[in-house]
Structure formats: structure tokens, C-alpha cells
Chain A
């Protein structure tokens, strides 16, 4: 299994509070991604990174920000959580050659 972890694995928070999710890899892969999974939508791209300090938006980036100060860590921040951000969040990593993407175990977030 690819060395990719996510923390926390589960979180309950209240509307309006900031939340940060962490993705950590030990594979030294260049590309890192944050997706959210919702019923009927599959997985949708929130943000991605193609190198340290190099990030860009995906299709559902509103209300989210990211940072990547080290190759191994990619942080996803909800500045002010809303109920619509209740979801399961998956991090993925990939090399430049992108033979495949490896997914983390997911973080289940509930915003009350």
C-alpha cells in the first residue's frame, strides 16, 4: 500500500468554525489532490498541488483553501465550515508519470 495517511479520520464540528484536514505521504510523489465524496456525485476535485507551494483549484473549490509547504504534507482548510461541507474527504497522490493515483483512507466530516 502507498504510504498515505489522513488526519483526523473523523471529525464533528459546528457551523462557522475553521477546520483543517491533513494529508501526509511518504512516497515523495509530486502531485497531491483533495477530493470530496458525496452520494450521487462520485468524487469531485477540490484542489490539487503539483509541487511545493504550487496549488490550483478544482471544480468545487469555493469555501476551501489549501497549502503545501513540504512535499509530504497537503493541508485542506475550511475557513468557516458550513453544513454543505459535510462529506467524506479523500486525499490522493500521484507521480509525474501518473501510472495511477493512490488514495488515502478518507476523513469523514460532519458539520452541525
Chain B
């Protein structure tokens, strides 16, 4: 079946450091790809998405590019802030059928001042 694999956390960075969170997927076909973020005690919020190969999603300084060749959708940010501390989830979804999200296990990011 379809699956998403994320790098293990937690990831601990100093403020203004560069962030990369790796995400790879296995799927039959070409899904849409997403990054969701969960702040402490809250639900999930969509951070960014890409719907086809070579698309780049971006939001709030975060970016991710849909790489069909490597089945990857790595999340990057050039300079993290303390307020970016959260859990980040990579997910895929097909645009037909049940349209449900398949999530990775999540990566906790902690940014220190």
C-alpha cells in the first residue's frame, strides 16, 4: 500500500539555522504531497502542498519540491525561528476515491534561542 517515511526526530536546531526534514513516499501513481504542522496542543494545519512533479510548494519561508525521480518531498527553511518549534508531518493523497491523507510518523522540531 501507499506509505510515507520521514526522518526520525527530534531535530534540535539553534535559531537561524538551516532546516531540512526528509520525506520519501511509496505510491502507485502520482499523488499530491503535503506538509502539515502541529503546534503544541493544537490540531494540524496545512503548511504547503504540491500536486504534480517538479512543483514547489512554499509558505512562511518553508519550501518543498515534488521530486518524482526520487519519490521525495523534503521540507526546507533557510533560517528557523523559535516559533517554528512544532511537529511536522509529510502526507500524500490521491485526488480520486476516498481522498484520505496517508501520513508519515511526524518529525518534532525544537528550535533553541
Contact = CB atoms under 8 A, between A and B. Distances in A.
A48 B17 CA distance: 40
B42 interface: yes
Interface stretch (B63-71, B75-83, B97-105): B97-105
B43 A90 contact: yes
Given A48-B98, A50-B98, A98-B95, A42 B104 contact: yes
Interface residues of A, number: 23
Contact of A43 (B42, B89, B95): B89
B101 A101 contact: yes
Contacts of B99: 31, 94, 98
B49 to A, nearest CB: 7
Most buried by B among A40, A58, A101: A101
A26 B45 CA distance: 18
B100 A105 contact: no
Nearest to B106: A42
Contacts of A98: 93, 95, 99
B27 interface: no
Nearest to B43: A103
A78 interface: no
A109 B58 CA distance: 34
Contacts of B98: 48, 50, 56, 58
A43 B34 CA distance: 14
Chain A to chain B: the 6 pairs with minimum beta-carbon distance, closest first: A42-B103, A103-B43, A103-B44, A42-B105, A43-B103, A105-B43
Interface string A77-112: 000000000000010101000101101111000000
